[in-house]
Amino acid sequence: MKLTLIGTGYVGLVTGTCFAEVGHQVICVDSDAAKVKTLQQGGIPIYEPGLEELVKKNVAAGRLNFTTSTAEGVEKSDVIFIAVLYRKGRPRNRRRPDQLQDRGGQKHRAGADRR
């Protein structure tokens, strides 16, 4: 299956890498061009034991790709996941998606409305 994950933080990057590891074609989208370049070169911006090796393996196998283009991710995928941050420091019963990150997700969705 062809999948896109919008966001390459802990949730998006780990999830996308795991999907690629089990054989799916995955595109991870992030608005941070420097982060995308690092990922394209096989580096990772977070620490998760074993993740770097899995990213390199799946990038080399062509199952895991990174881009700043939401439209590209959406156009080439069957399923799209949006991985956004939650605000830290709020009481558990008042947590909601970080509005700044959600606006970024909305921007990504708006750029992909052509599909």
In total, the chain counts a number of residues equal to 115
Compare 76 and 107 and report the one with higher pLDDT: 76
30-63 pLDDT, tens digit each: 999 999 999 998 889 999 999 999 999 999 999 9
Q: Quickly tell me which residue has 């370049």 as its tokens.
A: 37
What is the pTM assigned to this prediction? 0.76
pLDDT of residue 84: 72
Q: H or E element: which one contains 14?
A: helix 10-21
For residues 1 and 17, the answer to whether their CB atoms sit within 8 Å is no
| 70-87 per-residue burial string, b: 16 or more CB within 10 A, e: under 16 | bebbbeebeebbbbbeee
All domains of the chain in start order, with CATH: 2-111 (3.40.50.720)
pLDDT of residue 41: 87
Residue 33 is classified by DSSP as: H
Report the percent of the chain where pLDDT is more than 90.
69
Q: Quickly tell me which residue has 């080399």 as its tokens.
A: 60
Residue 14 has pLDDT above 90, yes or no: yes
User: CA distances (Å), 83 to each of 19, 41, 98, 102, in order?
Assistant: 14, 22, 11, 9
Residues 70-77: what's their mean pLDDT? 95
pLDDT of residue 104: 53
